[in-house]
Amino acid sequence: MTQTNQQWGGRFTESTDAFVQAFTASVSFDRRMYRQDIAGSLAHATMLHEAGVLSAADHAAIVQGLEAIRDEIERGEFDWSVALEDVHMNIEARLTARIGDAGKRLHTGRSRNDQVATDIRLYLRDAIDAILAELRRLQGGLVDLAEREADTIMPGFTHLQVAQPVTFGHHLLAWFEQLKRDSGRLRDCRARLNLCPLGAAALAGTTYPIDRQRSAELLGFSGPTENSLDSVSDRDFAIELCAAGALLMTHLSRFSEELVLWASAQFGFVDIPDRFCTGSSIMPQKKNPDVPELVRGKAGRVNGHLVALLTLMKGQPLAYNKDNQEDKEPLFDTVDTLLGSLRAFADMVPALRARPERMRAAARQGFATATDLADYLVRKGVAFRDAHEIVGKAVRLGVDSGRDLAEMTLDELRGFSAVIEADVFACLTLEGSVAARDHYGATAPAQVRAAVARARAWLATD
Q: Whole-angstrom Cα distance, residue 458 to residue 58?
A: 49
* 280: annotated active-site residue: yes
Please tell me what DSSP assigns to residue 154.
E
User: Which of 28, 264, 280, 401 is an active site residue?
Assistant: 280
In a 3-state reduction of DSSP, which class is residue 137?
A: helix
- Written as one letter, the residue type at 129 is D
Q: Whole-angstrom Cα distance, residue 408 to residue 394?
A: 9
Give the side-chain half-sphere CA count within 13 A for 107.
18
Strands 270-271 and 353-354: antiparallel
Give the side-chain half-sphere CA count within 13 A for 15.
13
User: Which of 159, 170, 215, 439 is an active site residue?
Assistant: 159
In a 3-state reduction of DSSP, which class is residue 162?
A: strand
Alpha carbon of 331 to those of 133, 221, 261, 309: distances in Å?
A: 19, 21, 31, 8
Instruction: Tell which residue, 112, 74, 87, has the closest CA to residue 29.
Output: 87
Q: Are 151 and 445 in contact (CB under 8 A)?
A: yes
Strands 153-158 and 270-271: unpaired
In a 3-state reduction of DSSP, which class is residue 305?
A: helix
Q: Whole-angstrom Cα distance, residue 120 to residue 48?
A: 22
- Phi and psi torsions of 351, nearest 5°: -90, -5
* 159: annotated active-site residue: yes
* Bridge partners, 224 (sequence order): 196
Q: Are 207 and 110 in contact (CB under 8 A)?
A: no
Which residues are identified as catalytic? 159, 280
